């Protein structure tokens, strides 16, 4: 039977892993797809560089067209990274009727909608499992699940660096700066950690998940983002007292055809499955109307998990080629994007303020909430030593974001309020 | 394009769900597999019974041969339950070259090896995703993962009833009998709860998982089983003090080609992801050499999740039919079964004893351990009020099961030991 030929863009750690898996598992691949799968050409920067994998020099090229335009190549695997140039290459590959597998989340978050529509126009598959939570088959599970279920909500811990930092802060009561430094020393955080700690990396992944799960053209700028750099050890310690664990959570929710996508530090009840996802691990919690709650947990990155995901995508492409169903999968957005206004985003809120310890202060504060129909689930008030201030921590019942924001404005103006220290979203408490 | 025709055995809650999903999702199915999929014939007991789904009466039959032997049927879906008669039907279906999808864990645990080998002989697929943890795509994830990874260990909470009971005991400090009664009142436990609480249901699922994950002929009697009926609230409270959560855990482990499969009440560190799996939920934790730790969490039962799983299997069968790769999947065992002896099963152990509160008692006890090279990770000793006894709780470092059992024997004979109250396996503590 005729072999399927694969071209790679890039031969770094992930690329070498992909080549090795394809070579080592020829028999298994053959059993799964019914024909041989061979690596034919690999784009590299330097033909003479030493490689982590044995590869015939004749298979290497420095000319991208040998991969993306060659009539001998059926599937292009992109593991070179980068955005603008890579986008150009993949568009050309798709226009040359090559199926594409990519592990590039930045590219997919920024240009996923465009690339997927070009893929569909050209009858090609474009798979990108490894771009979100490398070692977890979450995109495939969403697609498979979607065939017979409707997804209403996803909550994900999709950034390993921030989860490592929050886990350490929570476990040892350490300060943010201290743990960030440790993460940098260990290689878990980059020298410039902005993309991770400010939530941008997580936002890219949530845009990809929301687009797929809700079948809408979700763009990166539709994701509301708040990072963890302002989270204090005090916030964590007070939330612990009330039974919560702090996580950087990506939320994507659909209600009556309208969606919300956000990434923000969020408090979860300690008993929530996502609260037990620690260190650099990732997990995605999915609510489907038929199946109910499911969660997928695993390593979010790493070259072997990522290469494994890439090969799974390759297997799916090859199966589709042989079934002649490429480019027809449910991945192209089916619904028009409609974003929820803040008056339709309901959540519980954690609020920590310092207030003057005087008669009537508490009722002044609480009346702001009751005026807008917002009630409390938990309240904690403690005196602050050697001051005439009290620390007040409140967890509201579900309230509209717009109401909560107006309450916050008014709290800031209130004479008895010394300072609004912090607010966090609270999720996972009982029913949706 | 020619349609694929499906026959059902059984039209209860799950069967009706399957019929409904296939009808409601014709377009999506067509997109996935490239041809129409139609239900053609359904075996029922009573043609006149009212159904949960609208179905043409001409499609119903009381003659099983109309489904399993009809030349018009390509795939047989078994959702009737039962073991002996059902086995006979499925063998005949496979011999008539029908692909089979079943949700029947009892059948697959007892006769899975036989049925799978008959399927392979006849070039047929036999898929059974819904038989283990109904709403979690665990078998498919194992098979997909196996194509490019090696699984070394699986730990699963695969029985909802016992997880509900242990969760309640742990949360409210209630006694076993009390919570069992509550579970029965709520319909989470059956009037005769033996199969659940004695671990047999979990053992069936672990046999299925181990067979698939390790590609060996694992039989039900290879699974060491201990249920939860002797777990006391004291055991749970002492294990909590030492930072552990009690769960009924199914373990399947492979080392140097030899395997161990066991189901027993097991203590996990509170920070372990499985420790946060509460109430009637299921989860399976998988360690792969390449991908590392992953976990799949979801509802273990329920008619909609189960029907969804069955339809996923059906999609896989139809894809394979169109690829012409049926009966070749990696599901037929490849390795000879080799079970570990108890001298090769290493685990940490929790031990609770009462001992006479006298000089030298503790050193009498501990020397039994040190004589066999077994050391301690945690020790807790507390006086028992109004008695001359002390309660001693010990957690050992990893020790061979054979050593630990001999120590237990000798402890029973020791004069200073009043009673060995309980012992539990401890898992999930650091590295494998």
CATH number of the structural domain spanning residue B72: 3.40.50.720
**A422 SS3 class:** strand
* Dist CA A405 CA A372 (whole Å): 11
Residue A335 lies in a domain: no
Check residue B193 and report its DSSP letter.
-
Q: Which residues contact B173 (CB under 8 A, 6 or more apart)?
A: B233, B236, B237
Q: Which residues contact A363 (CB under 8 A, 6 or more apart)?
A: none
pLDDT band at A432 (very low <50, low <70, confident <90, very high): very low
Question: Residue A285 CB: number of other CB atoms within 10 A?
Answer: 24
Of the three residues B271, B290, B323, the one that is the final residue of a domain is B323
Domain count for chain B, please give it: 3
**Same domain (yes/no): B356, B385:** yes
Which residue on chain A is closest to B298 by alpha carbon? A294
> What tens digit of pLDDT does each residue of B21-32 get?
999 888 878 877
* Dist CA A223 CA B356 (whole Å): 64
B302 interaction partners in chain A (CB closer than 8 Å): 292
> What tens digit of pLDDT does each residue of A22-61 get?
998 888 788 778 889 999 999 999 999 988 888 999 999 9
**A81 SS3 class:** coil
- Put simply, whether A292 touches B (Cβ < 8 Å) is yes
Angle between helices A84-95 and A105-121 (to 10 degrees): 20
Which residue on chain A is closest to B21 by alpha carbon? A148
Check residue A335 and report its DSSP letter.
B
Asked if A148 lies within 8 A of B325 by C-beta distance, the reply is no
Q: For the ranges A326-340, B78-92, B166-180, which has the lowest average pLDDT?
A: A326-340
Residue A81 lies in a domain: yes
pLDDT band at A314 (very low <50, low <70, confident <90, very high): very high
**Same domain (yes/no): B360, B375:** yes
Annotated active-site residue in B41, B105, B205, B247: B205
A155-165 mean pLDDT: 96
**Same domain (yes/no): B357, B411:** yes
How is residue B227 written in tokens?
């249920």
Asked if A311 lies within 8 A of B147 by C-beta distance, the reply is yes
A309-330 mean pLDDT: 82
Residue A49 lies in a domain: yes
> What tens digit of pLDDT does each residue of A169-186 get?
999 999 999 999 999 998
Calculate the alpha carbon distances from A317 to A33, A34, A123, A309, B3 in Å.
10, 13, 12, 13, 23
Looking at chain B, the whole-number percentage of residues with pLDDT higher than 90 is: 72
* Dist CA B293 CA A279 (whole Å): 13
Phi first, then psi, for residue B76 (nearest 5°) are: -105, 125
pLDDT band at B174 (very low <50, low <70, confident <90, very high): very high
> What tens digit of pLDDT does each residue of A96-144 get?
999 999 999 999 999 998 998 899 899 999 999 999 987 788 888 887 7
DSSP letter string, A284-324: EEEEETTTEEEEEEEES--HHHHHHHHHHHHHHHHHHHHHT
Asked if A147 lies within 8 A of B294 by C-beta distance, the reply is no
Q: Which residues contact B271 (CB under 8 A, 6 or more apart)?
A: A276, A278
What is the overall mean pLDDT for chain A?
A: 92
**Same domain (yes/no): A194, A255:** yes
How is residue A118 written in tokens?
């070009």
Which of B136, B147, B148 to probe the A interface (max A CBs under 10 A)? Answer: B148
The CATH number covering residue B396 comes to: 3.30.70.260
Which residue on chain B is closest to A311 by alpha carbon? B148
Asked if B312 lies within 8 A of A33 by C-beta distance, the reply is no
Distance from the Cα of B288 to chain A's closest Cα (Å) equals 10
Which residue on chain B is closest to A142 by alpha carbon? B137
Which residue on chain B is closest to A290 by alpha carbon? B304
* Dist CA A362 CA A349 (whole Å): 18
A146 interaction partners in chain B (CB closer than 8 Å): 28
Beta strand A258-269 pairing with A292-299: unpaired
In chain A, the largest separation of any two C-alpha atoms, in whole Å, equals 86
- Put simply, whether B323 touches A (Cβ < 8 Å) is yes
Asked if A296 lies within 8 A of B292 by C-beta distance, the reply is no
pLDDT of residue A153: 95
By C-alpha distance, which of B121, B135, B136, B128 is closest to B106? B128
Q: For chain A, first and last CA: distance in Å?
A: 51
Q: How many CA atoms lie within 13 A of A214 on its CB side?
A: 29
Q: Which residues contact A295 (CB under 8 A, 6 or more apart)?
A: A273, A274, A283, A284, A285, A286, B283, B295, B296, B297, B298
Residue A379 host element (H or E): strand A376-383
B191-217 mean pLDDT: 94
Q: Nearest CB to B308: which of A148, A276, A283?
A: A148
Question: Residue A405 CB: number of other CB atoms within 10 A?
Answer: 14
> What tens digit of pLDDT does each residue of A251-304 get?
999 999 999 999 999 999 998 999 999 999 999 999 988 888 899 999 888 888
How is residue A206 written in tokens?
């949530």
**Same domain (yes/no): A182, A286:** yes
**Same domain (yes/no): B387, B418:** yes
A294 interaction partners in chain B (CB closer than 8 Å): 135-136, 296-299
**B329 SS3 class:** coil
Q: Say if residue A372's pLDDT is above 70.
A: yes
- Put simply, whether A1 touches B (Cβ < 8 Å) is no
Interface of A with B in 239-258 (CB under 8 A): none
A330 interaction partners in chain B (CB closer than 8 Å): 28, 31-32
**CA-CA-CA-CA torsion sign (B182, B187, B191, B197):** negative
**Same domain (yes/no): B307, B211:** no
pLDDT of residue B136: 84
Distance from the Cα of B148 to chain A's closest Cα (Å) equals 6
By C-alpha distance, which of A172, A183, A150, A167 is closest to A256? A150
Tell me whether residue B205 is one of the annotated catalytic residues.
Answer: yes
- Put simply, whether A279 touches B (Cβ < 8 Å) is no
**Same domain (yes/no): B106, B162:** no
B150-161 mean pLDDT: 94
Residue B163 host element (H or E): helix B160-172
**Same domain (yes/no): A275, A242:** yes
Annotated active-site residue in A205, A224, A337, A340: A205
Distance from the Cα of B325 to chain A's closest Cα (Å) equals 6
- Put simply, whether B325 touches A (Cβ < 8 Å) is yes
By C-alpha distance, which of A281, A139, A144 is closest to B140? A144
How does A310-346 read in b/e, with b if 16+ C-beta sit within 10 Å? bbbbbbbbbbbbbbebbbbbbbbbeeebeebeeeebb
Asked if B297 lies within 8 A of A295 by C-beta distance, the reply is yes
Of the three residues B323, B357, B378, the one that is the final residue of a domain is B323
**Same domain (yes/no): B286, B394:** no
Looking at chain A, the whole-number percentage of residues with pLDDT higher than 90 is: 72
In chain B, the largest separation of any two C-alpha atoms, in whole Å, equals 86
Distance from the Cα of A194 to chain B's closest Cα (Å) equals 27
E strands within B4-64? 4-9, 37-43, 60-61
Q: Say if residue A361's pLDDT is above 90.
A: no
Q: For the ranges A187-191, A267-271, B132-136, B427-431, which has the lowest average pLDDT?
A: B427-431
Q: For the ranges A125-139, B93-107, B177-191, which has the lowest average pLDDT?
A: A125-139
**Same domain (yes/no): A151, A218:** yes
A164 interaction partners in chain B (CB closer than 8 Å): none
The CATH number covering residue A157 comes to: 3.30.360.10
Asked if B32 lies within 8 A of A324 by C-beta distance, the reply is no
Residue B334 lies in a domain: no
Residue B335 lies in a domain: no
Residue A336 lies in a domain: no
Residue B330 lies in a domain: no
How is residue A380 written in tokens?
């904690």
Q: How many CA atoms lie within 13 A of B183 on its CB side?
A: 27
**B66 SS3 class:** helix
> What tens digit of pLDDT does each residue of B247-292 get?
999 999 999 999 999 999 999 999 899 999 999 999 999 998 888 8
Asked if A144 lies within 8 A of B277 by C-beta distance, the reply is no
pLDDT band at B303 (very low <50, low <70, confident <90, very high): confident
* Dist CA B413 CA A229 (whole Å): 60
Q: Nearest CB to B294: which of A146, A276, A298?
A: A298
pLDDT band at A330 (very low <50, low <70, confident <90, very high): very low
Q: Which residues contact A217 (CB under 8 A, 6 or more apart)?
A: A113, A211, A333, A337
Which of B77, B147, B284, B431 to probe the A interface (max A CBs under 10 A)? Answer: B147
Of the three residues B261, B289, B323, the one that is the final residue of a domain is B323
By C-alpha distance, which of B310, B108, B123 is closest to B209? B108
Residue A328 lies in a domain: no
pLDDT band at A206 (very low <50, low <70, confident <90, very high): very high
How does A242-276 read in b/e, with b if 16+ C-beta sit within 10 Å? bebbbbbbbbbbbeeebbbbbbbbbbbbebbbbbb
pLDDT of residue B361: 85
Angle, CA B199 vertex, CA B195 and CA B205 arms, to 5°: 90
Question: Residue A147 CB: number of other CB atoms within 10 A?
Answer: 19
**Same domain (yes/no): B295, B308:** no
Which residue on chain A is closest to B308 by alpha carbon? A148
| Domain hosting residue A276, numbered range | 138-299
pLDDT of residue A297: 93
* Dist CA B224 CA B218 (whole Å): 12
Asked if B32 lies within 8 A of A147 by C-beta distance, the reply is yes
């Amino acid at each position: 039977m005729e072999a399927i030929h694969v071209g790679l863009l890039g031969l770094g750690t992930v690329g070498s892993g992909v080549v090795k898996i394809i070579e080592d598992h020829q028999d298994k691949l053959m059993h799964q797809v019914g024909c041989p799968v061979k690596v034919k050409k690999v784009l590299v920067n330097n033909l003479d560089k030493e490689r982590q994998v044995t590869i015939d020099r004749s298979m290497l090229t420095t000319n991208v067209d040998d991969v993306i335009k060659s009539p001998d190549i059926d599937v292009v695997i992109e593991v070179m990274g980068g955005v603008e140039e890579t986008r150009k290459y993949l568009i050309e590959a798709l226009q040359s009727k090559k199926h594409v597998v990519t592990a590039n989340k930045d590219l997919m978050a920024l240009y996923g909608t465009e690339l997927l529509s070009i893929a569909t126009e050209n009858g090609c598959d474009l798979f990108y499992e490894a771009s979100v939570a490398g070692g977890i088959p979450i995109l495939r599970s969403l697609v498979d699940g979607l065939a017979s279920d409707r997804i209403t909500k996803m909550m994900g811990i999709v950034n390993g660096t921030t989860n490592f930092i929050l886990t350490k802060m929570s476990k040892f009561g350490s300060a943010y700066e201290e743990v960030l430094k440790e993460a940098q020393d260990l290689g878990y955080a980059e020298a410039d950690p902005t993309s991770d700690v400010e939530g941008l990396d997580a936002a890219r992944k949530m845009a990809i998940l929301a687009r797929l799960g809700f079948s809408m053209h979700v763009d990166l700028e539709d994701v509301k983002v708040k990072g963890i750099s302002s989270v204090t050890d005090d916030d964590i310690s007070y939330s612990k007292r009330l039974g919560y664990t702090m996580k950087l959570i990506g939320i994507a929710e659909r209600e009556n055809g309208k969606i919300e996508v956000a990434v923000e530090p969020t408090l979860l009840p300690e008993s929530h499955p996502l609260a037990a996802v620690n260190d650099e691990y990732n997990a995605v919690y999915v609510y489907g109307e038929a199946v109910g709650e499911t969660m997928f947990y695993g390593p979010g990155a790493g070259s072997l998990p990522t290469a494994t995901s890439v090969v799974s995508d390759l297997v799916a492409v090859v199966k589709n080629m042989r079934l002649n169903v490429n480019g027809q999968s449910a991945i192209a957005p089916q619904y028009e994007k409609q974003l929820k206004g803040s008056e339709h985003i309901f959540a519980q809120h954690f609020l920590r303020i310092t207030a003057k310890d005087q008669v009537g202060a508490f009722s002044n504060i609480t009346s702001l909430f009751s005026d807008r129909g917002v009630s409390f689930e938990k309240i904690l008030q403690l005196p602050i030593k050697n001051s005439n201030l009290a620390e007040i921590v409140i967890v509201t019942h579900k309230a509209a974001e717009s109401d909560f924001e107006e309450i916050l404005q008014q709290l800031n103006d209130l004479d008895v309020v010394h300072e609004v220290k912090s607010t966090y979203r609270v999720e996972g408490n009982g029913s949706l």
